[in-house]
Amino acid sequence: MTSADMTDDATARRFRDSLIRQMTDDRYLSPKWRPAFERVPRHWFMPRLFLFTGGDRYTPLGSRADRDKWLSHVYDSDMCVTQLNGDDTAWDTAIAQGSVRGLPTCSSTEPGLMAWMLDDLGVTAGHRVLEIGTGTGYNAAILCEHLGAASITSIDVDAALVAEARTRLAGLGHCPLLVAGDGRDGYPGNAPYDRIIATCSLPRVPAAWIEQLRPGGQMIMNVSGLLGGAMLLLRKNDSGDGAQGRFTKRWAGFLPARGAPGVADITPRDTEDGRYDTGMTTLAPDVLNTPAFAFLAWLATQDARLYWADLDDGRRLTCLIGLDGSWCEIYPDDGGKRQVDQGGPRRLWHLTEQAHTFWAEHQHPDWSHFGVSMQGDDQRVWLEHPAQPTPWQLPREGQTR
Ligand SMILES: C[S@@+](CC[C@H](N)C(=O)[O-])C[C@H]1O[C@@H](n2cnc3c(N)ncnc32)[C@H](O)[C@@H]1O
């Protein structure tokens, strides 16, 4: 290690030991992964952090400013935001102004979550692993410690992050294959892989990942949209054709993969004849705050996102809008019923109501009761068992009109 603040001295090790004790007590860290987490200094991978201060504001915390404060955040059980807005200018602004507004584009995953993902994935000596989302390089370092760098390939869409991770990993003596590119395509150059781990989320499993897994190989990823999602553990069929798996009981969410269309690309649309539908609903939009139901609302409405709008009279509307311009607005409760206006090619609130009927009829299951079977282009979601298909497929990545 180079500068004094990055040294793995007794102070840094004391912070690390405390994190490892907590991860063990919380049953996130198994004896199998403990040595790798003990050996890899997390602080080496994140000399610069952004601390969330509310709204979309962050303050900078560097390794040199207040080393103990910085180490206490690095070795906290939480995730650490390490990049905003996809470049380094946010850091310079935050240092100059004391804080900055932004959207996280890279973070180091919660260590406990990293540990259980690796455990659930069944990563074992001799495995070749592809990681999607190199980020800081910390997870890649844990994998290198456990399996040896020759078994690890890691890809990130951000070439600057890849370059920095390469330097940091090399500083610890690890030289895995790091690639700059869109992780949706995986990396065929080192396939087949025994395991694939994704640390950014997508609404659907990229076909390339299943192609690049060996038969019987497994992958874990956060499948999610803007309303909900969960962690999916999939196994490629021994025949080499298709894959199957379940959503894990433990819930987690990841930063969305970059490269998808954003809200700025959406134009609300009316129905074909230039009008919109008005009706009434008994379903309270608050139900979207229930994580178990939000998972199904996401499957039913696919790329829809939630927002709120205030009327002139002070009343607040709950609204959904999809990338194809479909929208709905739900008015406040009026004696147990609410007005709903809907426009565009899909009736988003009708789809939400249908999902709610399904959810109620099946005793309000959470995501862990669902699984996915992949065959060709099909990514069919089932309840409890593949023989019990739901009406839903995993959503295709959004396309604006
Ligand atoms: C949660 S961070 C990764 C954490 C990382 N594994 C670590 O240990 O620091 C998510 C990463 O996914 C990357 N990412 C986002 N979209 C991507 C894409 N389309 N392809 C590959 N990587 C992507 C981001 O640049 C970011 O570095």
Q: How far is CA 220 from CA 211, 245, 381, 396, in A?
A: 15, 10, 16, 18
**Separation of 39 CA from ligand 1 center, angstroms?**
23
Q: How far apart are CA 176 and CA 193, in angstroms?
A: 14
pLDDT at 88: 82
pLDDT at 63: 85
The protein residue with its alpha carbon nearest to ligand 1, atom 17, reads 257
pTM of the model: 0.95
pLDDT at 400 over 60: no
Grade residue 236 by pLDDT with cuts at 50, 70 and 90.
Answer: very high
Q: How far is CA 182 from CA 154, 159, 227, 397, in A?
A: 11, 10, 24, 14
**Separation of 228 CA from ligand 1 center, angstroms?**
19
Domains of the chain, CATH where assigned: 263-361 (3.30.160)
Q: How far apart are CA 214 and CA 369, in angstroms?
A: 26
pLDDT at 355: 98
- Say how many residues make up the chain: 401
**Separation of 137 CA from ligand 1 center, angstroms?**
10
Residue-by-residue DSSP string for 340-371: EEEESSS-HHHHHHHHHHHHHHTT---GGGEE
pLDDT at 262 over 80: no
**Is the model more confident about 336 or about 149?**
149
Strand order in the sheet with 48-54: 100-101, 57-62, 48-54, 80-84, 104-108
Report the SS3 class of residue 166. Answer: helix
The protein residue with its alpha carbon nearest to ligand 1, atom 11, reads 133
pLDDT at 263: 60
**Separation of 163 CA from ligand 1 center, angstroms?**
13
Ligand 1 nearest atom to the CA of residue 183, by list position: 20
Q: DSSP H helical segments within 26-158, as ranges?
A: 34-39, 67-74, 89-97, 111-121, 138-147
The protein residue with its alpha carbon nearest to ligand 1, atom 3, reads 135
Instruction: Spell out the residues 6+ positions from residue 359 whose beta carbon is closer than 8 angstroms to its own.
Output: 292, 293, 296, 365
Grade residue 271 by pLDDT with cuts at 50, 70 and 90.
Answer: low
- Determine if ligand 1 sits within 6 Å of the CB of residue 196: no
Sign of the CA dihedral running 276, 280, 284, 287 = negative
Question: Which of 391, 379, 325, 317 has the alpha carbon at shortest distance from 353?
Answer: 391
pLDDT at 273: 64
Q: How far apart are CA 90 and CA 56, in angstroms?
A: 12
Ligand 1 nearest atom to the CA of residue 131, by list position: 6
- Determine if ligand 1 sits within 6 Å of the CB of residue 168: no
The protein residue with its alpha carbon nearest to ligand 1, atom 12, reads 133
- Determine if ligand 1 sits within 6 Å of the CB of residue 185: no
Q: How far apart are CA 141 and CA 152, in angstroms?
A: 9
Ligand 1 nearest atom to the CA of residue 135, by list position: 27
Instruction: Spell out the residues 6+ positions from residue 380 whose beta carbon is closer than 8 angstroms to its own.
Output: 372, 373, 374, 389, 390, 392, 393
**Separation of 398 CA from ligand 1 center, angstroms?**
19
**Separation of 276 CA from ligand 1 center, angstroms?**
40
**Is the model more confident about 394 or about 398?**
394
- Determine if ligand 1 sits within 6 Å of the CB of residue 187: no
pLDDT at 401 over 50: no
pLDDT at 1 over 80: no
- Of 80, 155, 200, the one to substitute when testing ligand 1's pocket (max ligand atoms within 8 A of C-beta) is 200
Q: What is the mean pLDDT of residues 236-256?
A: 95
Q: How far apart are CA 62 and CA 5, in angstroms?
A: 10
Point out which residues pair with 61 in neighbouring strands.
49
pLDDT at 198 over 50: yes
- Determine if ligand 1 sits within 6 Å of the CB of residue 297: no
- Determine if ligand 1 sits within 6 Å of the CB of residue 161: yes
pLDDT at 275 over 80: no
- Determine if ligand 1 sits within 6 Å of the CB of residue 113: no
- Determine if ligand 1 sits within 6 Å of the CB of residue 155: yes
Condensed to tens digits (0 to 9), the pLDDT of residues 64-106 reads: 888 999 999 999 999 999 999 998 899 999 999 999 999 999 9
Q: Please, what is the average pLDDT of the chain? A: 94
pLDDT at 64: 85
Lowest mean pLDDT among 178-187, 308-317, 350-359: 308-317
Q: How far apart are CA 184 and CA 103, in angstroms?
A: 21
Q: How far apart are CA 249 and CA 46, in angstroms?
A: 30
Condensed to tens digits (0 to 9), the pLDDT of residues 153-170 reads: 999 999 999 999 999 999
Lowest mean pLDDT among 31-40, 154-163, 273-282: 273-282
Q: How far apart are CA 151 and CA 119, in angstroms?
A: 17
pLDDT at 272: 60
Q: How far apart are CA 326 and CA 218, in angstroms?
A: 36
**Separation of 114 CA from ligand 1 center, angstroms?**
13
Ligand 1 nearest atom to the CA of residue 46, by list position: 9
